[in-house]
């Protein structure tokens, strides 16, 4: 009998928890449609078949939504609402009709070609997580519709024991077609942590890991898989000793998680009494219930650009108001910080064609630069935010600020919006106004900005990118993207010092905010507001309770003499490990 060799693999933690089960590989179905010519007289019948397939697919989605609704899972319901909207996308339906009439091919072939062109267009725009997820969503729907057109229902595995789903890309339809009671864990090659399937996994407490390279080449059906969704580690063919060790770790985590449930509705503080606010980053309305379950102290970053990317026109004031109001009401009394439109670089929209002409969009019209160029669109968004501020603790934040004139110009537009609302008799609130600190210039003149805004929020992803002159989407220079680089930490300290001197709050909301090795550093600088993905909130709150900020401050001095990112990391690792128990770190 061949010996089963234990193998460890690593990806990105997407949904916390431990799981063990046998592998079930879900191969992505590549639809193959034979192109069949039709006669002009057959067009009507083909269109009727298409309309019927769309209707049947919609009925399936509604049934799945109702099924989850009966279990009280409202998050998943909204995922299906978005799929139904995409299914009935007028642009796609019209394109299929035109192709059918022009090329005289069967409707399956016409539909598949249009979907492929649509997905290719999304993928060409850039390596953007939102657009990649929309492409997945469209592909998922197309699979459903093509099955209806071909009279197939497809094969659905019957699960009767704990299984670990292994997939290149896991679609929502794949997941909901299975008996979730037996889905113990999920591992994918695709690296999206915010796909609808992963959102569903998190809401169901199913451990998940994404972004595992060469996954499908390394695992076969039926192999025993151990998943640590908190650390992003999976073990193939784990030994009995490894399983026992992981079970003990799981029990330890269970202890901490039970303790967390007791403090979820409370603010946390460090050992020496420093209060720390841990809030959530969100993009979509369906993120709000997840945020509430996570124990977040509000919404520290509401990325509104995704509302603008979802359609071929800007959202209306009323559409935006309803979404912002919903966030404010649900988060109340905790704060909601709404970041205004941050289009730019790889986020482009059809209704701003002038942006397509830029040769270097990363250094071109981004964030506030677009808003100040498209003033009416900007004012519409500000009016919606001002109105939503009546309903809760709402603040507004402006991205890509590099110059004081941008803040002053923005404040003028806010005043104009208030005047209009007042004249029209529409109630509005008085949100605090802050800026994103995400360029070296904003750090260097942070003292000046602190005189004219109410708060700072550090956008660490762009701050690293612009400080180190590294495009984080460019694989050729990705190795230079270093969160622990001394220059990045010095700029963060500069911004924190300016905020504290003026006595205004400062938070951090990029990927660095959830890095456990940087947590002591941020708290020691006085950055006591952290905003991150909901999945990291419990762990961060737990960690805060072990830290003694006054002692950490006394141990930071060697950090400022460090010359490299590696030296910085080693110092912070030593500090962090001296306060936190081993369970917080990878083995």
- Binding positions are 303, 339, 438, 461-462, 472
CB atoms under 10 Å from CB of 496, counted, come to: 22
Please indicate whether residue 443 is annotated as part of the active site: no
Q: What is the DSSP letter of 392?
A: S
Contact status, residue 509 vs residue 281, Cβ threshold 8 Å? yes
DSSP code string of 295-350: T-SSEEEEETHHHHHSSSSPPPHHHHHHHHHHHHHHHTTSEEEEEP---BTTB--T
Looking at the chain, the number of H-run helices and the number of E-run strands are 23, 17
Q: What is the DSSP letter of 514?
A: G
The full length of the chain comes to 587
In this structure, the strands spanning 183-188 and 208-210 are parallel
Question: Of 431, 386, 17, 428, which Cα lies nearest the Cα of 186?
Answer: 17
Give Cβ neighbours of residue 175 (< 8 Å, ≥ 6 apart).
165, 183, 186, 197, 200, 201
Please indicate whether residue 196 is annotated as part of the active site: yes
H/E stretch holding 583: none
Contact status, residue 257 vs residue 538, Cβ threshold 8 Å? yes
Catalytic residue among 106, 253, 443, 509: 509
User: Whose structure tokens read 């697919």?
Assistant: 57
Convert 267-286 to b/e letters by CB count within 10 Å (16 or more is b).
ebebeeebebbbbbbbbbbb
Which structure tokens are listed for 513?
A: 């905010």
In this structure, the strands spanning 7-10 and 233-236 are antiparallel
- Binding positions for phosphoenolpyruvate are 303, 339, 461-462, 472
Separation between Cα atoms, residue 341 and residue 339, nearest integer Å = 7
Separation between Cα atoms, residue 280 and residue 397, nearest integer Å = 15
Separation between Cα atoms, residue 90 and residue 398, nearest integer Å = 33
Question: Of 90, 182, 89, 181, which Cα lies nearest the Cα of 141?
Answer: 89
Catalytic residue among 106, 196, 443, 485: 196
- Binding positions for Mg(2+) are 438, 462
Could you give the residue numbers annotated as active site?
Answer: 196, 509
């Amino acid at each position: 009998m061949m010996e089963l060799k234990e193998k460890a693999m690593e990806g990105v933690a997407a949904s916390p928890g431990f799981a063990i089960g046998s592998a079930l590989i879900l191969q992505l179905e590549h639809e193959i449609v034979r192109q069949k010519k039709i006669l002009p007289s057959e067009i009507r019948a083909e269109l009727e078949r298409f309309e019927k397939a769309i209707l049947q697919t919609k009925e399936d989605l509604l049934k799945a939504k109702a099924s989850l609704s009966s279990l009280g899972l409202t998050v998943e319901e909204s995922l299906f609402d978005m799929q139904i909207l995409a299914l009935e996308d007028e642009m796609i339906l019209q394109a299929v009709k035109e192709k059918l009439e022009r090329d005289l091919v069967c409707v399956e072939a016409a539909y598949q070609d249009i979907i492929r062109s649509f997905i290719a267009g999304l993928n060409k725009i850039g390596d953007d997580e939102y657009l990649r997820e929309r492409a997945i969503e469209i592909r998922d729907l197309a699979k459903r519709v093509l099955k209806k057109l071909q009279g197939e229902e497809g094969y659905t595995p019957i699960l009767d024991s704990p299984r670990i789903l292994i997939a290149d890309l896991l679609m929502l339809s794949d997941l909901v077609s299975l008996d979730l009671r037996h889905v113990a864990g999920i591992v994918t090659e695709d690296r999206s942590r915010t796909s609808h399937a992963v959102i569903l996994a998190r809401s169901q407490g199913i451990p998940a890991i994404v972004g595992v390279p060469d996954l499908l080449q390394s695992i076969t059906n039926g192999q025993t898989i151990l998943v640590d969704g908190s650390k992003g580690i999976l073990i193939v063919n784990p030994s009995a000793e490894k399983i026992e060790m992981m079970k003990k770790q799981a029990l330890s985590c269970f202890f901490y998680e039970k303790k967390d449930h007791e403090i979820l509705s409370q603010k946390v503080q460090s050992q020496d009494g420093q209060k720390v606010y841990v809030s959530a980053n969100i993009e979509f309305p369906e993120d709000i219930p997840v945020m509430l379950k996570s124990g977040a102290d509000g919404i520290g970053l509401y990325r509104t650009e995704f509302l603008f990317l979802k359609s071929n026109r800007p959202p209306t004031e009323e559409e935006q108001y309803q979404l912002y109001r919903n966030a404010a009401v649900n988060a109340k009394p905790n704060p909601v910080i709404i970041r205004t439109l941050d289009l730019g670089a790889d986020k482009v929209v059809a209704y701003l064609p002038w942006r397509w002409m830029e040769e270097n969009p990363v250094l071109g019209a981004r964030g506030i630069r677009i808003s100040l160029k498209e003033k009416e669109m900007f004012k519409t968004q500000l009016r919606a935010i001002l109105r939503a501020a009546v309903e809760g603790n709402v603040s507004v934040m402006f991205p890509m600020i590099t110059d004081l004139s941008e803040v002053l110009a923005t404040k003028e537009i806010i005043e104009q919006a208030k005047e209009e609302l007042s004249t029209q008799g529409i109630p509005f609130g008085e949100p605090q106004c802050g800026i994103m600190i995400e360029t070296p210039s904003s750090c260097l003149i942070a003292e000046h900005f602190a005189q004219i805004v109410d708060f700072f929020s550090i956008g660490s992803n762009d701050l690293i990118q612009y400080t180190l002159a590294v495009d984080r989407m460019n694989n050729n220079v990705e190795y230079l993207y270093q969160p622990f680089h001394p220059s990045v930490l010095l700029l963060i300290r500069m911004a924190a010092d300016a905020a504290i001197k003026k006595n205004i709050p400062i938070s951090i909301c990029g990927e660095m905010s959830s890095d456990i090795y940087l947590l002591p550093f941020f708290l020691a600088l006085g950055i006591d507001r952290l905003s991150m993905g909901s999945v990291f909130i419990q762990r961060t709150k737990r960690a805060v309770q072990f830290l003694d900020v006054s002692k950490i401050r006394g141990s930071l001095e060697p950090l400022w003499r460090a010359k490299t990112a590696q030296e910085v990391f080693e110092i912070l690792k030593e500090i962090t490990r001296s306060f936190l128990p081993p369970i917080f770190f990878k083995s």
